Structure 1
């Protein structure tokens, strides 16, 4: 390998997620300090990364580097099952920290070198991660992270590159989305956005909805619900034990989010919320009780 990891800069695994919900989508968001390695186990997933659309199929691998504005959606006709491993703290020689792709590389390719190893590693991660974290499992996770980073690097180093690079959206609207992504747990109003970005409420709503197909306030609600879903379906921590992620710092609680989106206030509890969030049909049945 021409370029290796810098001393003391090996990958650490920060989180793992397994998604197989039909019609699931994440909404636009940014990870400031993580690079995501994704494996599409089956189906079709659509990735919007810095305004460019990529379609990934079964056995494709995807890299979303830190700071990239992105959204993920499962195909309606061929729902995707994806595995996501988020890494941090690594640096290849000659590259920035947490950078795996070479400039303007296509972030979605078919897995080639070490494909079966990649599949096996993700399968193993889905088995061991529900266990309690300790020094032994933590070292094992980081060993998997190291191996996946090297395999993804080897696969992507010869990926197609575009000299044109990424297409950029309207700077103001993109800045607003970054602001919402970084502050979605806080109380946000359209009037506040108007004052902060010195643009009218109507302009912000129209242009934001035009670019991202969702209004600013609905984006905030969707972002909160997505965060809650990931927290509940990918961790064993209770609501009381994860206040940094949960609603204690949110100005709108999850029941309020559901109420805002459905005009119904269900009696959601920690015990039933995990099931409700996993399946949209289950949620509708829950409301009709």
Structure 2
């Protein structure tokens, strides 16, 4: 028998995180062609755990070859992308949250903006995976229950605390990032603007007027920084959004086309096939391996 006595110690973690809220849990697996181009989330932070497979994550200007047992922390407004290894499909969990309050970092952040957000979970990896599975299972069983909400809330806070402690004890792994240049900051501002408005009509001339630079300079700057033109980036954001909706909802292709910004479903289908390589319905049939709304859930 093992019996441990715990001394009472003051803690402000729960009080400080009174506004903490999980907004989404995502489990991506079984799709060797999975790509989510550069994007960012305003006021949202993410914990990404790699349960299997391999993929390339780009976080701001740093590239990480992620594999089983790796943990990535994405702060609000951080530009990031992911590409699955076609020969070893990613098995990746993402917990998205808001209202985070931790010591020594800005409100909403999980790690300092001056560190690389990439860690080896080590022995904590199995605990992290089990917590994520339990959160998903609880929500899919009875999403409307107050008990379910409280359970997923506490499990998510536990995961946040584990990640926070892991960051604190991995200072040797954290390295300073390079200082952003003025040019890159403009490119980031443009990207953030498109992220917030990609479902609406955006023209280069509109971006040029908004950011007070010429259209040619803006296009060149953005393309140099991110390897894609502003308009093609908007299309890629729409296509990524459409992929999510195809595998996690039962909405019709026409409805999804309208939701991501295309009034003409035929035009949307042509673009989807050009960028993804499959008809939207074929994509849904191939990659929906769980019941609708299970692969990605809003909490």
Flag whether TM exceeds 0.5 (same fold): yes
What is the TM-score of this pair, normalised by structure 1?
0.79
> What is the rounded CA distance, in whole Å, between the counterparts of 1:31 and 1:253 in structure 2?
27
Find the partner of 2:21 among 2, 12, 15. 12
Gaps of 5+ in 1: 280-289
Partner of residue 121, structure 1 = 131
1:40 CA displacement: 0.4
After superposing on structure 2, the runs of 4+ consecutive aligned residues of structure 1 that deviate more than 6 Å are none
Closer, same or farther: CA 248–8 of 1 in aligned 2, 3 Å: same
* Contact 1:45–1:55, Cα closer than 8 Å, also in 2: yes
Count of aligned pairs between the two proteins:
271
Closer, same or farther: CA 29–2 of 1 in aligned 2, 3 Å: farther
Partner of residue 69, structure 2 = 59
Closer, same or farther: CA 255–131 of 1 in aligned 2, 3 Å: farther
Partner of residue 60, structure 2 = 50
1:110 CA displacement: 0.8
> What is the rounded CA distance, in whole Å, between the counterparts of 1:30 and 1:87 in structure 2?
13
Partner of residue 161, structure 1 = 174
Partner of residue 189, structure 2 = 175
Gaps of 5+ in 2: 1-8, 290-299
* Contact 1:225–1:254, Cα closer than 8 Å, also in 2: no
Q: Pairwise mapping of residues 211-250 of structure 1 onto structure 2 (< 5 A)?
A: 211-234=225-248, 236=249, 238=251, 247-248=258-259, 250=261
> What is the rounded CA distance, in whole Å, between the counterparts of 1:263 and 1:94 in structure 2?
46
2:95 partner SS? strand
1:221 partner SS? helix
In the TM superposition, what whole-angstrom CA distance separates every residue of 1:138-161 from its partner, at most 9, and x where no partner exists? 212112211100111111112223
1:17 CA displacement: 0.7
What is the TM-score of this pair, normalised by structure 2?
0.77
Closer, same or farther: CA 239–172 of 1 in aligned 2, 3 Å: same
Cα RMSD, aligned residues only: 3.2
> What is the rounded CA distance, in whole Å, between the counterparts of 1:53 and 1:228 in structure 2?
25
> What is the rounded CA distance, in whole Å, between the counterparts of 2:223 and 2:185 in structure 1?
15
